[in-house]
Each structure stands twice: as C-alpha cells, then as structure tokens.
Structure 1
C-alpha cells in the first residue's frame, strides 16, 4: 500500500461527501481522467482504506423500533465471531469490537427485545453478560481531517508508505509499515490466539 497523496485525499473527501458521485465528476475536481480515478479507487479498496460503498439507513426512524446500545461481554476466544454475527444481524446500525472481548452494537429493534435478537443472531452460550441502554441521541460524523488521511502501521503507528505490507488476521485487514512490523504483529496475534484457545478449552 502506497502512502496517500494529495489526490487520494481529495478523492476520499469527495466520496465521503457523496459516495454516488460519478468518477467523471471526481476526475474534473482532481485533474485526472475518469479511468485514472477508477484505478485509484480500486487501489484504495484493495488496500482496505475504502471498505465499502453503502446506504446509511436510520432504522430507528421506522415505526415500532427502539434505538439501543447493546454492550456484550464475550467469553474468551469468541469476540471475532460474535462481532461478525452482530454485524450481519437484522437491526444492527453500527458494531464495534474491543481488545478486551467486548462487542458493542447500536441496534434498532422491535419492542427492545434484546434477548430474542441475540438468540437469533448468535450462539448465546459464548455471551458472558450484556447491558442495554436506550439511546436518546446519536450522530455519525466520520470526519476526514488531514491528520487522519494517512495509513498507520498496526504495530508501531508509523505511516505506511510504498514499502508497507498488509495482511488479514482473524478476518480483519491490518496494514504495516514494513515486513518486520507485520512479523511482530503476527507473532503477538498467534500468542494471544493460543492463550484465548487455552482459556476456552
């Protein structure tokens, strides 16, 4: 993955403002041809900088839906699977996975029936506990400040340049500034996975 240049940043900002904007319009804004913009967007997607183009539907706007924050404490070794299941569950708007085996989902559910929702979405035997809060207000800003438009190494935090690498661990893509950082991260990841597997066994 190459370091992001000014043109990449302009393209990201334009897509952030309107993900349906035609490449021909973006090309006029950044001084490239439409195919050149398409190539850059493809590279950004391959590198994991752009994950997807989607419609952000506010499910809480529908009748009989209650907006909730569901904080799930997961048994060791199962956080990734629970995260993936809740990401695909009906009613989920946003979902987050923390390093301490917690998964937090913003969901809009009929009648606030969290117990049935969890049972339909995943194997509840791996759920140690969960807390539910009704959401009074929420906003999704996803700001693209200049300081944020640089790809950071998952191991050391340095900027990823042309010498950088990327790899998938546990279904997630990580980017590294060099092969050494990737190797260190892989070693730590494997150690944590073995510890989690031992705890679950």
Structure 2
C-alpha cells in the first residue's frame, strides 16, 4: 500500500512539473498527451489517440461497450479518469493477434449482429480466456456467463457470445468439438 501511494505521489509530482501532460501506456506504447485532469480514459483513447474500436454508449460504466484491459483486468473506460490510470491499457486494437481466433468464433457462432458491443465483449472475453488458461473451472458455461454479465448486448441474446468464448477456449486446449456445445 505504501509503495502504491509513493508511486502515485511520484506520478503527481511529474505531472505537475510537466503541466497537463498525461503519461499512459497503451497497447505496449508509452503515450504522452495533453489532457484535462477530469477527462475519461475513454475520451483519451478515442479522441486523442484516435483508437476508435472502443465504443461509448452509456457513459456510466454500466454497459461494457467501452471495456479495455488495465494490467490485464477488464475495466469500463468511460467511468475511469485518465489521470487516475496507472498501468498497461490494452484496447481492442492491441489484441489483434491474440484475439484473432476469438473474433473468428464470434462470427462463426453468431456472437454479434450490429457489432456495436463486440469490441467490449471481445476485450472482456480475452481476459476471461487468459484466466481460464491458468485456472480450473467446474462449470465453464456458467463461469463465462457470469463473467460477461457486465457487457450488455441488445441484439444477440448472449448465446452466440458465450458459445464463441467456450469454443475458443476448447479449441485453444486442443479439444475438438462438433459445433455448438449441447
């Protein structure tokens, strides 16, 4: 706890010495950008870094369309101040290689229709798949459904999304399936 407080103090000291320059690490790159201290991480991602894959919808952190990873954990970027963001931020653009098979499974199993929520779903699902690779889960489908419950999709009814995540996990484990899991 003391180390985190010291780190934040150091960041605040650097920010004050450099004016309103915001220091972030996004998709593996160090980024310095001018920013109002009250601007959200989503606003910086979309409007200053021009990474448009992360979508804005509710503006309150309730729908999950703006989900990004912060140090590998899914967060809603619309409800987080950019100035209070420390660590590695990964957007959908930063997952192009890692999530290729997952995106293909979304298409194969009907995991999206209009596509608006898809980036947030894929980012969150990537975090789920990383955890599943390291942990054992008794009821895989229930686990995936519960984990994705913060990502709202008004078009698909979720079955295709859950199926895409499950199939991606099984395929990555080398388990052959004949389409949808019963």
Question: Is the structural similarity TM-score above 0.5?
Answer: no
TM normalised by structure 2 equals 0.25
Larger radius of gyration: 1
Where is the strand percentage greater, Structure 1 or Structure 2?
Answer: 1
TM normalised by structure 1 equals 0.23
Where is the helix percentage greater, Structure 1 or Structure 2?
Answer: 2
